[in-house]
Amino acid sequence: MTNYKINEFFETIQGEGQYTGTASIFIRLQGCPVGCSWCDTKHTWEVENDLQIPIQQVFAKTVETPQWASLSANEIVEHIKLQGYRSKHVVITGGEPAMYNLIEMCDALHAHGFSTQIETSGTFEIKVPAKTWVTVSPKINMAGGYKVLASSMARANEIKHPIARQSHVEELEELLNTAPVSEGTLIYLQPISQKIPATKLAIETCMEKNWRLSIQVHKYIGIA
């Protein structure tokens, strides 16, 4: 039985990619060695054993902390029921969720009528069932020194790449040449921090390449 280290567990609207606008349950896992300088969840990077807390305290969090709780796949399903969540889509994020074997968790969720999605950097082997939607946001040349895996790119249902300048577009193009995606994989550009120049560049590039725009709807409307 696999136990998963959970930093956050909440219900909201998915604001990015193909599932934008979908009512979703987010499960944020603890642990990530990738080292993105602009990461907005750095509190999930380290796993400190003395910061383990009961799951009830995770649900009660009002600020971001590196504290985490340990749950099995069946316990995750049970706590979704206990919280009274109504969403039927579960987004597994991090941290870096692909550090974990997620098959057991996703299978348990599928058995209870949920759809599943993971959001990963693509730097770890992706272990999920075939029906899980895989979002790869490829983290290229980050401080941790991890390489984006060709197998992760090939497994992706969508690529979601944050950009601020032309060099970010070029690095994605280079990656797609060396680690191609499967036929039908959606490619999204996501302007970093909703800046006007980044948004303009993303729109122009999507028009040119027939890619898609992901605009982080949750940030525009001011929700988690």
The answer to whether 14 is a known ligand-binding residue is yes
What torsion do the CA atoms of 22, 24, 29, 32 make, to the nearest 10 degrees?
A: 10
**Gyration radius of the chain's alpha carbons:** 17
What torsion do the CA atoms of 145, 94, 74, 21 make, to the nearest 10 degrees?
A: -140
Structural contact between residues 167 and 135, judged by C-beta atoms closer than 8 angstroms = no
The answer to whether 12 is a known ligand-binding residue is no
The answer to whether 106 is a known ligand-binding residue is no
Phi-psi region for residue 221, left (φ > 0), alpha (ψ -120 to 50) or beta? Answer: alpha
Q: Report the C-alpha gap between 116 and 91 in whole angstroms.
A: 6
Helices 166-178 and 196-209, packing angle to 10 deg:
40
The answer to whether 107 is a known ligand-binding residue is no
The answer to whether 41 is a known ligand-binding residue is yes
Which H/E stretch holds residue 151? Answer: helix 150-155
| Preceding amide of 95 cis, omega within 30 | yes
Would you give the distance in Å from CA 72 to the centre of its chain?
20
Helices 103-111 and 73-83, packing angle to 10 deg:
40
The answer to whether 32 is a known ligand-binding residue is yes
The answer to whether 95 is a known ligand-binding residue is yes
The answer to whether 40 is a known ligand-binding residue is yes
Annotation: binding site for substrate:
13-15, 28, 93
Q: Which residues are annotated as a binding site for S-adenosyl-L-methionine?
A: 38-40, 95, 137-139
Annotated binding residues, written as ranges, equal: 13-15, 28, 32, 36, 38-41, 93, 95, 137-139
Q: What are the binding residues for [4Fe-4S] cluster?
A: 32, 36, 39
Point out the annotated binding site for Mg(2+). Answer: 41
